Amino acid sequence: MSISKFIVQQAISLIKPGMTVGFGGGSTVGLLVKESTNLVNQIQVLTPSPTTRQLATVLGYTVIDPQYCDRIDIAFDGCDQLDHRHSALKSGGGIHTNEKIIATLADEYWLLAPKNRLVTQFSTDIPLVLEVLPKALALVMHRVAALGGQPTVRTASNRDGLTLTDNGNLLIDCHFPSYNQLSNINQQLSALAGVVETSFFDHLITNAILGDPDTNTINYLY
């Protein structure tokens, strides 16, 4: 059995009939959606991911929009890295603003990830990603540089032009030489006019299910 399927089996046991459940993006969460179809008529689903939304719709789940929901029982998502302070960096998909809405709505926000993504110090190889209003581009680029970062506007890989989020905004990947002051940097950039959200989930993680592919075992972060 793959470690992802092992993780998913643990996650399924947390989903109960009558719940409103958040499903994020990524292959492990996608597998969770597929493996939970025995509950398809017993739960309602929210997701920040267009791919997950399409999958859940095809499988017959009742998919609702976050704008009409003020509480989620439990939500599941992935991450690039997380730490023991229940914080995480999420940058790859560029949907972190919508993911944060789901995380904040959820009574319990669980991350599903390989054990090696639990770290004591976040890697600077992973950028801090900002979703930014287009008119604030120059302002934000200047402020990131002033804070010691290297900002790069994300471009689309499948077309000529910049990457736009589902909200119609730009993504700026910010590489810093150190994350020792990540919380402080995040606060300053979050407060900057034109920054919609950052990809740093500061103390937003409730729990995590971490799979170890070497020993085929599961660890939990509470």
Of 35, 99, 108, 197, the catalytic one is 99
The DSSP secondary structure of 132-162, one letter per residue, reads: E-GGGHHHHHHHHHHTT-EEEE-B-SSSSSB
Q: How far is CA 201 from CA 17, 29, 113, 128, 214, in A?
A: 28, 18, 15, 10, 28
The DSSP secondary structure of 86-137, one letter per residue, reads: S-EE--SSS-HHHHHHHHHHEEEEEEEEEGGGEESS--TTSPEEEEE-GGGH
Q: How many CB atoms lie within 10 A of CB 53?
A: 19
| 99 noted as active-site residue | yes
Task: Say how many residues make up the chain.
Answer: 222
Helix (H/G/I), strand (E/B), else coil: 4: helix
Helix (H/G/I), strand (E/B), else coil: 22: strand
The residues annotated as belonging to the active site are: 99
